[in-house]
Amino acid sequence: MGSDRSPNPADHRLRLFVALELPEPVRTAIGAWAASVLDAIGSLRPVRVDGLHVTLCFLGSTVSAEAEAIGDCCRGACAGRGPLRLSIGGLESLPRRRPRAVAVRVDDAGDGQLLELQRGLAAALAGGGWYRPEPRPFRAHVTAARVRSGARLDARALPERDRIGITSLPGRLTTEFTADLVTLFESQTQPGGAVYQPRARIELAV
């Protein structure tokens, strides 16, 4: 005899993460650079421009009913924090051994406010039981390309990996930029790759 129970919407799970959004000119510049430089490396697949961001806390599979409370928690952790002054740093393969992605480092051009923001969010989300802090120190970066399925990346193929930084983006990106939007994203897997849907947006404004 079959069950007539319908799925409980509250049991639906979402793949969530909290990220710092990048201004559109910065995303466009990094995306154009990745398409022209990294796409030439056969093992790499550049990330779409709308998917470029700085992940602050990856929550993973989370009950959908918790999304609103998580957004409120993020708002509380961001309260009183102003816009961040940042700059583009060097190129990195992540992880270092058997890399699965290529990332552009993001450096704090201010006085450590980005790290403080990440630590505040991590502590608040962990306190709510939604986040398990990672053992490795936080390294702000933008994933610019991922290693294609079944391929392996030879890090020696990365161009000028120690000097890539801002000098590789002449005319496309200023030395420093300001970011002022923290977003709780839902990652949805689709045939063309992951699509990130905002669930809550918090403006950094004192």
**Of 61-70, 144-153, 161-170, highest mean pLDDT:** 61-70
Instruction: List Cβ<8 Å contacts ≥24 apart for 114-119.
Output: 114/20, 114/84, 114/86, 114/140, 115/140, 116/81, 117/20, 117/56, 117/77, 117/78, 117/81, 117/84, 117/182, 117/204, 118/56, 118/57
Q: CATH homologous superfamily for 12-203?
A: Cyclic phosphodiesterase (3.90.1140.10)
The ranges assigned to domains in the chain are: 12-203
Beta strands in the chain (DSSP E): 13-21, 44-46, 53-63, 84-94, 101-108, 141-147, 176-179, 181-190, 193-203
Q: How far apart (Å, rounded) are the C-alpha atoms in residues 79 and 75?
A: 6
Residue 92 pLDDT: 82
Is the backbone peptide bond immediately before 99 cis, with ω within 30 degrees of 0? no
- The string of pLDDT tens digits covering residues 75-88 is 999 999 999 999 88
CA distances from 152 to 45, 80, 90, 155 (A): 12, 44, 21, 9
* This prediction's pTM: 0.86
Residue 9 pLDDT: 55
| 121 touches 18 (CB < 8 A) | yes
Give the model's confidence band at 166: pLDDT under 50 very low, under 70 low, under 90 confident, else very high: very low
Reference 203, options 3, 20, 6, 17; nearest CA is: 20
Residue 93 pLDDT: 83
